[in-house]
Amino acid sequence: MPTVELTRFRVDPARVAELLDSRPAMLADFRADRDGFLGARLVRLPDDEWLDIVTWRSPEDFAASRDKGANLPGIAAFFAAISSLVSSEEGVEPDIEDVV
């Protein structure tokens, strides 16, 4: 079952361009280095907060990615633009048949 990572963080307004400029390289590094990475959406929220919604093939793939941390330059550059972590959660996408 697909696993969804929800990471909410703050970015100093002076570093927003840096965050956005580093995003393509971060995604490329994830595609190249993270088994089970299915995609990501970045959402800008009020008060200098952002939400990164990342989908993984499984909880194990997400855990393996977390263990790698910022191991590649594109990932490290994106993480460096983040001022502080607000929250991090993990959930699963239900099969629509399970909901009906």
Spatial CA neighbour of 5 closest among 67, 62, 84, 77? 62
Q: Summarize pLDDT for 45-54 with one digit per residue, the tens.
A: 999 999 999 9
Secondary structure class of 3 (helix, strand, coil): strand
CATH number of 3-91: 3.30.70.100
Whole-model pTM above 0.85?
yes
With 80 as the cut, is the pLDDT of residue 20 above it?
yes
With 80 as the cut, is the pLDDT of residue 98 above it?
no
Q: Summarize pLDDT for 31-71 with one digit per residue, the tens.
A: 999 999 999 999 999 999 999 999 999 999 999 999 999 99
* HSE-CB of 77 using CA atoms within 13 angstroms: 18
Break the chain into its structural domains and give their ranges: 3-91
With 80 as the cut, is the pLDDT of residue 97 above it?
no
